[in-house]
Structure 1
Amino acid sequence: RDQIAALEKVLEKQKISSTDLVDQDIIAMARGFDTTCLTVFFVREGNIIEREPFILSNTEGAERKEILAAFIKQFYDGASFIPKEIIVEEEIDEREAIEAWLSAKKGSRVKIIVPKRGEKRDLIEMVAENAMAYLEQKETFEERQKIRNEKAMEDLKRYLGLEKLPRRIEAFDISNTQGTESVASMVVFENGMPKKEDYRRFKIKTVEGPNDFESMKEVIFRRFKRGLEGDEKFKDLPDLVVIDGGKGQLRYALEALKELNLNHIPAIGLAKEFEHVFVEGKSDPIILPRDSEALYLLQRVRDEAHRFAVTYHRKLRSARNLKSVLEEIPSIGKVRRKALLDAFGSLENIKRASVEELSKVPGMNKKSAIAVYEFFHKA
């Protein structure tokens, strides 16, 4: 009840509108043990039009004014709009230097204000309360998620007969269209959460046509061979390998692991239709309880591998289709095609580009730009 009352109080205070018509951003923070929430309220023409929270990790030991100054520099470095006033709750490092930098970016004076009393002080306190409420809510959610993930890993260990908790799980999937643009994905979950910086993707090199089994063997072999060779991107080995597929895909993945003398790494296949789990040495699948955290975790991992593979495949297919269209344009050779792709990214963007924009692409000139423009704007 106390928490609900506190949230209602924050929501009630958010109804306040400033009477000052100067454009302002109001920035306040709340700190947890090792996490900081910075919330920005955007005030335009006297009205709060939007608010946005930002979570910073690993901030233990940093001073508040240091965090706030670093955030302001990073936030406004790429901002499309800088207000006339930035209101903060306390003094920050390098205040005058940051004001000068912001003023130069905006082209007019920008002030960083630390209010001591009055309406602006009320606003900054409101934003600080909002930041704290958001941080507490997020920390509570993350704690619940951490407990769920721990249970999921313990359940997986028990159901699959693993020697240790599967803290690092790697999942693999294959995607192609009738054997063309065949790619594979590798996604990583650590302690039940995605670790996106470790995601990897592969173009299938040795397999002709739509052969998911051989493609899976190739990608498993390449991934773990690179790890054994000391490649930094692949040096961490998983506690569990998840293959998107049934017995066939798993068998080929296991062959690759055996060829590399890594058959001590547990691997399973997760068949999509009935969510059956296949393991080496057992003809019948392991059927996990439908409501188990273990199954939910495996599904999240498998679905993420599928999403990542399909996204990469579509990107390559789109690039190939775009290339084939550009090949039809006179005077647009391989170098210019690549330059146009790099500059605009998609066929739609090239279609929308003006002659002037096309001519500014490296390697293009007025004549070739007109050729591209007229190709897409034929009467």
Structure 2
Amino acid sequence: MADPTTYRPATGTIPTDPGVYKFRDENRRVVYVGKAKNLRARLGNYFQDVTQLHPRTRQMVFAASSVEWTVVASEVEALQLEYTWIKRFDPRFNVKYRDDKTYPMLAVSTGETVPRAFFYRGPRRKGVRYFGPYSHAWAVRETLDSLIRVFPMRSCTKGVYNRHESLGRPCLLGYIDKCSAPCVGKVSKEEHREIVDGFVSFLAGNTDKVVRGLTEEMNAAAADLDFERAAKLRDDLGAINKVMEQQAVVLGDATDADFIAFSSDELEAAVQIFHVRGGRIRGQRGWVVEKVGDQAGADALPTLMQNFLIQFYSDAVEREHLEEAEENAQVERRGVDQFSHAEARAVKVLPREILVQSLPDEADEVTALLSELRDGPVDLRVPQRGDKRALMETVERNAKDALRQHKLKRVGDLTARSAALQDIQEALGMEQSPLRIECTDISHIQGTDVVASLVVFEDGLPKKSDYRRYRVKEAAGEGRSDDVGSIAEITRRRFKRYQEDKLAHPEEDDTVFEDENIVEESTDNKRFAYPPQLFIVDGGAPQVNAAQAVFDELGIVDVTLVGLAKRLEEIWVPGDDEPVILPRNSQALYLLQQIRDEAHRFAITYHRQQRSVRMRRSELDEVPGLGPSRRADLVKHFGSVKKLKAATTEEISEVKGFGPKLAQQVYDHLHRG
């Protein structure tokens, strides 16, 4: 590990031109590749005070031992060279968007002499066409079962095919007309290939021709009084329509576009891409990656978007060219017209329109590069209104959910949870694993409606029956935002009866306290049966020190206290000047993030409830002589405060219990100013 100051280029030696740079380690391996409009300005950022760098950037510059750069003629050329070097060197600190391999696909082995259709998961292989991805495995099998009624192509494995070929009789699918039985010569290999081409064409989006043909054949059979064949064609048409309905029309103008959105935190980012072809969602893919280098930080969305667009579409076009070359070679060997075969291919992977959540840093240069890859114009923009904006919001929600699921999945099973608790124990030097963890968070808007939450996790899972929520009156903070003071009060409240908690009976009520500044509302009527091994406060050193002062005051010495800061996921321990940094891929970090996020969610939900109640009643609360019952009678009589404002004094006095004087007071109060 080298100190960055030992390989920092001399002042003035770095050019100010656009270019691409490489950081290499002591073994000359490339650990990071980046590009810049101005090489001097960009590289200078890496050699500033290392304490100011993002942790992942700091790790990268210490892992490197040298830096070199290449000057290019334009920013577009820099984008192309950066992508080429990332593909060539595979640097470990660069974000790599690899297929997640988790989505089920419908595959067709076009490279075989007698192709077959089958369910598939995993990396893509040459000589196989893939359709999807689908959301569930059953969706693939249901689609395949419906389509082989109309396109009776082979769907059996190679072993089954060879066995029935040697037996000279077809399998069950051949007898029920769900396979054309090429294994026994019921159709020739050429005829079976035509069925396969129709199957592939239909999945590629050419559905109208198939529906029109089936409809014409059904009508002709009915006219010839061949009702048995007409009934079969009717059922086939129903199967086709069922498959088509699975891809609901989302855009009415037959749009071909890709929708791309990110969701990220300080450490990771999730990206989702929806492929819309002919106005229908034809596929969806997603990745979760670590944010490193230029992508680090909370405001790196434009950089993330730029790197994803270049890497994803460059890879996709390169893969498409390889598949197309292979298929053209197969077409030539079979002697089929190449142009007609090309028409059956899927829509190009790079569409005319790319809609993004946020424009990349260098939108013009990225657009130029994408246009060059497509051999045609590309419209890169952010949708502002209408159906496309609504679909973009859906993609954003999917990205947020993907990031949330990614955080949860690492603590989703017993083994992972046990490893997470063990890691926490070792990182904090605890005597035993924290089987019970509690976390508190504060929520307010400029010191108003201050509330707090307390969530409980046991064995790495939430125990919602023990959740608590607190209402901190504004008098406690004198109308100011005082997170430190609120944390101290909540900690005191939680551990005020610490000794009693150890011996408490679950059926006893513990929701009423003498302290008038804080009101605790529990999700049930039970008190805590026992204290936690680990207590987490949301915040850094000030919040932890405030909570530790309460612990010292109450004499609590057998509960470990830490703070979890949002900015860099740092763990602050009372009395330590430096935080504890857990590895990015540790089970412990994922569990602590989950607990902190759950406390934040619970606090935000309660804060919104309190704010809503205050705003809903604020206009009537200050009317002199108007108590809760009369306020309720007014709102019930008129239906809303808005309608009450529109009422006259006489109409208000018609409400039971309201005389002319009180009605006038209500009217004057609502119309003052």
**For the superposition of Structure 1 and Structure 2, which TM-score range results when normalised by the shorter chain?**
0.5 to 0.7
The answer as to 2:572 corresponding to 1:278 is yes
- Bigger mean CA offset, 230-239 vs 209-218: 230-239
Residue in structure 2 matching 1:250, options 532, 540, 544: 544
CA distance in 2, matches of 1:297, 1:352: 49
Contact 2:435 2:459 in 1 (8 A): yes
**C-alpha displacement at 1:144, in angstroms?**
5.2
- Aligned counterparts, 1:4-43, within 5 A: none
CA distance in 2, matches of 1:150, 1:163: 15
**C-alpha displacement at 1:151, in angstroms?**
1.2
Distance 1:183 1:328, change over 3 A: closer
CA distance in 2, matches of 1:246, 1:297: 18
CA distance in 2, matches of 1:316, 1:5: 44
Number of aligned residues: 244
- Aligned counterparts, 1:116-195, within 5 A: 145-195=413-463
Distance 1:331 1:11, change over 3 A: farther
Determine which structure has more spread, i.e. the larger CA radius of gyration: 2
Distance 1:310 1:254, change over 3 A: same
Q: Which amino acid aligns with 1:224?
A: F
CA distance in 2, matches of 1:310, 1:148: 28
**C-alpha displacement at 1:338, in angstroms?**
5.2
Distance 1:10 1:234, change over 3 A: farther
The answer as to 2:492 corresponding to 1:208 is no
- Aligned counterparts, 1:35-114, within 5 A: none
- Bigger mean CA offset, 272-281 vs 226-235: 226-235
Over the matched positions of the two proteins, sequence identity in percent amounts to 41
**Which residue number in structure 2 is paired with residue 58 of structure 1?**
none
**Which residue number in structure 2 is paired with residue 33 of structure 1?**
none
SS of match in other structure, 1:219 = helix
Q: Which amino acid aligns with 1:304?
A: E
**Which residue number in structure 1 is paired with residue 592 of structure 2?**
298
- CA displacement 1:163-192 (0-9 Å, x = unmatched): 111111100011122222211110111111
**Which residue number in structure 1 is paired with residue 495 of structure 2?**
224
Residue in structure 1 matching 2:628, options 318, 322, 334: 334
Q: Which amino acid aligns with 1:309?
A: A
CA distance in 2, matches of 1:161, 1:339: 60
**C-alpha displacement at 1:336, in angstroms?**
2.8
Distance 1:10 1:237, change over 3 A: farther
CA distance in 2, matches of 1:12, 1:327: 64
- CA displacement 1:232-281 (0-9 Å, x = unmatched): 41332111011100000001111112222113200100011111101123
**Which residue number in structure 1 is paired with residue 32 of structure 2?**
none
**C-alpha displacement at 1:9, in angstroms?**
7.2
- Bigger mean CA offset, 177-186 vs 295-304: 177-186
CA distance in 2, matches of 1:218, 1:279: 19
**C-alpha displacement at 1:145, in angstroms?**
2.2
- CA displacement 1:2-53 (0-9 Å, x = unmatched): xx99997799999xxxxxxxxxxxxxxxxxxxxxxxxxxxxxxxxxxxxxxx
Contact 1:226 1:234 in 2 (8 A): no
**C-alpha displacement at 1:146, in angstroms?**
2.2
CA distance in 2, matches of 1:227, 1:311: 27
Q: Which amino acid aligns with 2:544?
A: L
Contact 1:278 1:286 in 2 (8 A): yes
Distance 1:194 1:9, change over 3 A: same
Contact 2:410 2:590 in 1 (8 A): no
Question: TM-score of the superposition, structure 2-length normalised?
Answer: 0.31
CA distance in 2, matches of 1:187, 1:5: 36
Residue in structure 1 matching 2:611, options 297, 317, 326: 317
- Bigger mean CA offset, 306-315 vs 323-332: 323-332
Alignment gaps of 5+ in structure 2: 1-118, 120-135, 147-408, 505-509, 511-525, 645-654
- CA displacement 1:130-185 (0-9 Å, x = unmatched): xxxxxxxxxxx899522221111111111111111111110001112222221111
CA distance in 2, matches of 1:5, 1:179: 50
CA distance in 2, matches of 1:216, 1:350: 36
Contact 1:227 1:234 in 2 (8 A): no
Distance 1:179 1:144, change over 3 A: closer
CA distance in 2, matches of 1:208, 1:5: 55
Higher relative contact order structure (alpha carbons within 8 Å, sequence separation ≥ 6)? 1
Contact 2:541 2:572 in 1 (8 A): yes
**C-alpha displacement at 1:351, in angstroms?**
5.7
Question: TM-score of the superposition, structure 1-length normalised?
Answer: 0.53
CA distance in 2, matches of 1:282, 1:155: 20
RMSD, matched Cα: 4.4
Contact 2:442 2:486 in 1 (8 A): yes
Contact 1:189 1:195 in 2 (8 A): yes
Contact 2:411 2:420 in 1 (8 A): no
**C-alpha displacement at 1:350, in angstroms?**
6.5
- Bigger mean CA offset, 228-237 vs 211-220: 228-237
SS of match in other structure, 2:496 = helix
